[in-house]
Amino acid sequence: MNKILVLFDSASGNTRRMAEFVAEGARSIGDTEVRLLSVDEAKAEDVVWWDGIAVGSPTNMGILSCRLKRFWDVEMFSSWSQVDGKIGCAFSSAGGWGGGMEMACQSLLTVLMNFGFLVFGVTDYVSRDLTLHYGAVTAKDPRDEASQDACRKLGRRLAEWTAVCVHARKDEHPSLKMSERMMPG
């Protein structure tokens, strides 16, 4: 069974909504168990148990939130070296485009890499003007269909990579599904 955790912090509810779409995307891959946890509920053992993790944060000053940072600094501290090789990705909502959502994703990926995760972005586009090359990003809430699709695509790709890398389900490799995918141009 493919096991995906969606871990998030949310102040306004925007990142929580993103998390729900990410979870929905992960569930679209067969034989996948998905759990959605806010940073307040999560324990280190939760992270240790799952094959792959999508982590979402509000963009606070261009970096993951202090609450989510505290989770990795303190709660996860003694699990460092126990999660090498898990698959990870990021998502973030900022107040506006250009507000640091990509950089917040990068900070999340930096933390995950520090813990030994393999991290990724998604080459696919979800509309003419939206992609998720370093994680799914929105300006404020994911209110339009494209923003929601970006979140779904992220969760789906995460579940594809864990299926391929952890469970040797080669048929889930995205290169075999090019007809479903939107490329730029």
Shortest reach from residue 45's CB to a second copy, in Å: 16
Helix H or strand E encompassing 37: strand 32-38
Tokens of 108: 């999340």
* d(C-alpha 5, C-alpha 38), whole Å: 10
User: Among all chains, which residue has been given the structure tokens 């168990």?
Assistant: 33
Is residue 116 within the footprint of a second copy (CB under 8 A)? yes
- Sole residue written with tokens 């520090």: 114
- Encoded one letter per residue, x for contact with a second copy by CB under 8 A and - for no contact, window 4-43 reads ----------------------------------------
Residue 57 sits at φ, ψ, to 5 deg, of: -140, 145
The two beta strands, 122-127 and 130-132, are antiparallel
Kindly state whether residue 141 participates in binding a second copy, applying the rule CB under 8 A. no
**Burial of residue 166, with CB atoms counted within 10 A of its CB: 0-12 exposed, 13-18 middle, 19 or more buried:** middle
Contact 32, 172 (CB under 8 A): no
- Which parts of 58-77 interact with a second copy (CB under 8 A)? 60-67, 69-70, 72-74
Q: Does 164 participate in binding a second copy (rule CB under 8 A)?
A: yes
120 binds a second copy (CB under 8 A): yes
18, 44, 119, 151: which one contacts a second copy (CB under 8 A)?
Answer: 119
Q: H-helix or E-strand containing 2? A: strand 2-8
136 makes contact with a second copy (CB under 8 A): yes
- To a second copy, the closest distance from the beta carbon of 126 in angstroms equals 9
Interface residues toward a second copy, by CB under 8 A: 60-67, 69-70, 72-74, 80-82, 84-85, 87, 95-103, 106-107, 109-111, 113-123, 125, 127-137, 139-140, 150, 161, 164-165, 168, 173-175, 178, 183-185
